[in-house]
A and B are shown apart, each in its own frame.
Chain A
Amino acid sequence: MSEVLVLVEAVADGDNIGLKKVTLEMLTAARVFGEPSAVVAGATGTAAAVKDRLAEYGAAKIYVAESDDIDNHLVAPKAEVLAQLVADSAATAVLLPSTQEGQEVAGRLALKIGSGLLNDISEVDADGTATQVVFAGAVIVKSKVAKGTPIYTVRPNSVAPEPAPAAGEVIVVDVAISDDAKKVRVLDRTVESGGGRPELTEASVIVSGGRGVGSAENFALIEGLADSLGGAVGASRAATDSGFYPHQYQVGQTGKTVSPQLYLAVGISGAIQHRAGMQTSKTIVAINKDNEAPIFELADFGVVGDLFQIVPALTEEITKRKA
Chain B
Amino acid sequence: MNIVVLVKQVPDSGSERTLDPSDNTVARASADNVISEMDEYAIEEALKVKEAHGGEVTILTMGPESATDTIRKALSMGADKAIHVTDPALHGSCVIATSAVLAKALGTVEWDLVFSGAQSTDGGLTMMPALLAERLGVAHLSGARKLTVDGSKLTVERQTDGGYWTIEGQTPAIVSTWDTMNEPRYPSFKGIMAAKSKPVTTLSLADLGVDESEVGLAAATSTVLEFASRPPKGAGQQVKDEGDGAAKLADFLASKKFV
State which of B14, B122, B131 has its C-beta within 8 Å of the C-beta of A273. Answer: B14
- Please name all residues of chain A whose beta carbon is closer than 8 Å to the beta carbon of B126 when the two chains form the complex: 100, 103-104, 119
Interface residues of B in 117-140 (CB under 8 A from A): 118-119, 121-128, 130-131, 133-135, 137-140
Main secondary structure of the interface of A (DSSP, over half): mixed
Whose C-beta in chain A lies nearest to the C-beta of B134?
A108
The reply to whether B222 and A116 contact each other, CB–CB distance below 8 Å, is yes
| A302-B235 CB under 8 A given contacts A103-B126, A142-B224 | yes
- Is the Cβ of B249 less than 8 Å from the Cβ of A108? no
0/1 per residue, B150-187, Cβ < 8 Å to A? 00000100111111111111100100000110000000
Judged by a CB distance under 8 angstroms, whether B108 is at the interface is no
Task: Say yes or no: B256 contacts A136, CB within 8 Å.
Answer: no
Q: Are B239 and A139 within 8 A (Cβ)?
A: no
| Residues in A neighbouring B44, C-beta threshold 8 A | none
Q: Which of A117, A144, A190, A287 contacts B225 (CB 8 A)?
A: A144
Q: Which residues of A contact B95 (CB under 8 A)?
A: 107, 117
Closest to B24 in A: A141
How many residue pairs bridge A and B at CB < 8 Å?
268
Q: Name the residue of chain B whose CB is nearest to the CB of A135.
A: B17
Of residues 132 through 169 on chain A, the ones whose CB sits less than 8 Å from some CB of chain B are 133-148
Chain B residue numbers with a CB within 8 Å of A70 are: none
Query: Which residue of chain A has the shortest Cβ distance to B256 in the bound complex?
Result: A283
Inter-subunit contact A305/B240 (CB<8 Å): yes
Among B17, B161, B167, the most chain A Cβ lie within 10 Å of the Cβ of: B161
> How distant is the Cα of A113 from the Cα of B202 in the complex, in angstroms?
32
B92 near A: Cβ within 8 Å? Answer: no
Q: Can you name 11 A-B pairs with beta carbons within 8 Å? A: A107-B95, A138-B18, A139-B227, A183-B169, A186-B167, A254-B37, A285-B249, A291-B240, A301-B238, A309-B246, A314-B249
Residues of A whose CB lies within 8 Å of any CB of B are 11, 74-76, 79, 99-100, 103-104, 106-108, 110-112, 115-120, 129, 133-148, 180, 183-192, 194, 199-201, 205, 229, 247-248, 253-254, 261-262, 271-273, 276, 279, 283-285, 287, 291, 296-306, 309-311, 313-314, 316-318, 321-322
- Interchain residue pairs A-B with the least CB separation, the first 8: A305-B241, A116-B221, A313-B246, A300-B236, A192-B163, A107-B127, A183-B139, A104-B130
